[in-house]
Amino acid sequence: MSNGEYDVGYKKPPKKGQFKPGESGNPAGRPKGTKNLKTDLQEEMSEKISVMERGNQVTYTKQQALVKTLSTKALKGDLRAINTLISLMNRLLVDEEDAIAEEKPVSTSDQALFDAFLKRHGVEK
């Protein structure tokens, strides 16, 4: 098919159907500069608050205050706080070396497949 000098076909829509320069394909979409949930949460948790601690006014970020509160509750024996704190620690504080050490060893049949593949492609171990 041809439309003047321009070929119309697969991935080549007619000129009258193409977006004009500066025109969006989704004009009712998210406005530019609008923040997503992750950005909003990061900003909110980084805000500073003042707390009375042992008779002194101390300033923490909201995130620091939440972690302090959670650890304090856990130390007092709150099982829900203990479980939450332990799961956070497991998820965030696991060393990469520990994660590598926990990987399962390669079975002999899988190792034979790897060796055959490498030999076929002329790669030395």
| Amino acid, single-letter form, for residue 71 | S
pTM as predicted: 0.52
Per-residue pLDDT, 96: 62
Domain ranges of the chain: 67-93
Q: pLDDT per residue over 53-109, tens digit each?
A: 899 999 999 999 999 999 999 999 999 999 999 999 988 887 665 666 667 788 888
Per-residue pLDDT for 119 more than 90? no
Per-residue pLDDT, 117: 80
Per-residue confidence band for 4, with pLDDT thresholds at 50, 70 and 90: low
- Which of 95, 89, 71, 92 is CA-nearest to residue 81? 71
Angle between helix axes 79-92 and 62-75 (nearest 10 degrees) is: 120
Cα separation of 69 and 53, whole Å?
12
Per-residue pLDDT, 86: 92
Per-residue pLDDT, 98: 65
Q: pLDDT per residue over 29-54, tens digit each?
A: 878 888 889 999 999 999 999 999 89
